[in-house]
Structure 1
C-alpha cells in the first residue's frame, strides 16, 4: 500500500483573498483534482491543511472511496512542516507527496516515479530546471527523519530534503506518456488561466 499526502495548507498569498485549494479548474477545486489522481493509486489519503479549511475540503472530497484522513497544521512553517506531520501519520513504506496546486499530475507520472525502489525519493523535473520536491514519491521513514532534522535545524526549504535523501530524478520531457504541463503549479490567477487555455487547446 502507498499513502497519498496532499499539501493544502498554504496561505495562497499570490491569489489575493482566495484560497487556491478551492479555486475551480475544469469544474472541480484544485485539491480535488490531486486527490482524484491519488485515489486510484493509494490505500490511504491524508490531507495536510489548516483547521479552518477542513470542513470545506471534506465537502469537496465527499465522493472519495479511499480512506481519508486530515493532518491539521499547528505551526506556520510551510510545506516541509506539512510533509513532516503527514509522514508521521502515514502507515505505508512509501508516500506520494503532492501539493494541491498541481492539478495536472497524472497516474502516468506517479507510475514513472514508482518504477524504482532503489532510492528513498523519486521526483520529477523539466530539463534545465530544479527538481520538484512537492510532487514526489518518498520512502516514509527516512524522509520523515530528514524532515524532522531539517526543521529542528531551522531549515524550511523542501528542496533540502532531496540533498538529505538518495534521490532519483525523472526528466518528464524524456517520458512520452507524461504531459509537458504536468509540473505547472498554480500559484497565481495567471497560472490558472495558462493551464486552462492549454487544456482547452488540446
Structure 2
C-alpha cells in the first residue's frame, strides 16, 4: 500500500476536447455543477500529499478547491505532455507515487481511488482502473515509473505501463469518460 499522504494527485484538465465541440467541456453542467468538479468533490476527503490540476483553456478555478494549477502550454502535443508536468511536480515534492485522474470522469469515487492506493505494493507499481475488459485511468504510478513517464510521447502517456500493470475493476458506469456530447447524454440518462 502506498499512503495517500505520500501521493500527489494529478488531475488532467488540459485536453483539447475536439470531439466534444465548441466550448469548455469541463464547465458544462452536470447535476448542478461543472462536470470537472464532480471528481474534485469526490476526492476532497482523501488526504493526498498535494493536489495539482494540469490545465489549459478551462474556466474552472481548481485553485479555489485546493489544487495547485500547472498550465500545459502545448496541449496539442498530447496527453503525455500533461503527464510529464505532473510527474515533474511529483519529483519536486519527493512523492512516492502519483495518482492520475481525468477531470472528465465525473463518476469515479474516493473508494475506488483508495483501492488503487491499497493495491500498490512496490516502488515500481502501476495500478490502473478497469471495467473488466479494458484498463484505463484513473491510474497510480509509483516513483519507480517516473522516468518512463517522462520519456512518453504524444497521446500514449502511460498507456503501455497501464496495459502491463495491475488492474482494479470498477463498474463501467463509474469509469465513464465524457468525450462527446453523446457521452454526456448517456450519463445523464443513467442518473
TM (norm. structure 2) is 0.84
Number of aligned residue pairs: give it: 178
Q: TM-score by structure 1 length?
A: 0.80
Unaligned runs of 5+ in 2: none
- Does the CA contact (< 8 Å) of 1:21 and 1:29 recur in 2? yes
Q: CA deviation at 1:102?
A: 0.4
CA contact (8 A) 1:39 1:45 kept: no
User: Hey, what's the Cα distance between the residues in 2 that align with 1:114 and 1:47?
Assistant: 19
Q: Say whether residues 1:47 and 2:47 are aligned partners.
A: no
Match for residue 108 of structure 2?
A: 105
CA contact under 8 A between 2:117 and 2:140: conserved in structure 1? yes
For 1:17, the equivalent position in structure 2 comes to 22
Deviation of 1:61 (Å): 5.7
The whole-number CA distance in structure 2 between the counterparts of 1:46 and 1:30 is: 17
- Structure 1: any 5+ residue segments left out of the alignment? 173-178
Query: Deviation at 1:78?
Result: 1.5
CA distance, structure 1, for counterparts of residue 151 and residue 131 of structure 2: 28
Give the structure 1 partner of residue 127 of structure 2.
Answer: 122
C-alpha distance 98-197 of structure 1, shift in aligned 2 (>3 A) = same
Matched, 1:169 2:167: yes
The C-alpha deviation readout for 1:7-58, integer Å capped at 9, x for no partner, is 11111111110221111111111211112222221231101011x43xx222
The residue number in structure 2 matching 1:73 is: 72
Q: In 2, Cα distance between the equivalents of 1:118 and 1:18?
A: 41
Distance 2:112 2:147 in 1: 26
Tell me the alpha carbon deviations over residues 64-88 of structure 1, each in whole angstroms, 9 at most, x when there is no partner: 2x4x211111222211211111121
What is the root-mean-square deviation of aligned Cα atoms in Å?
1.9
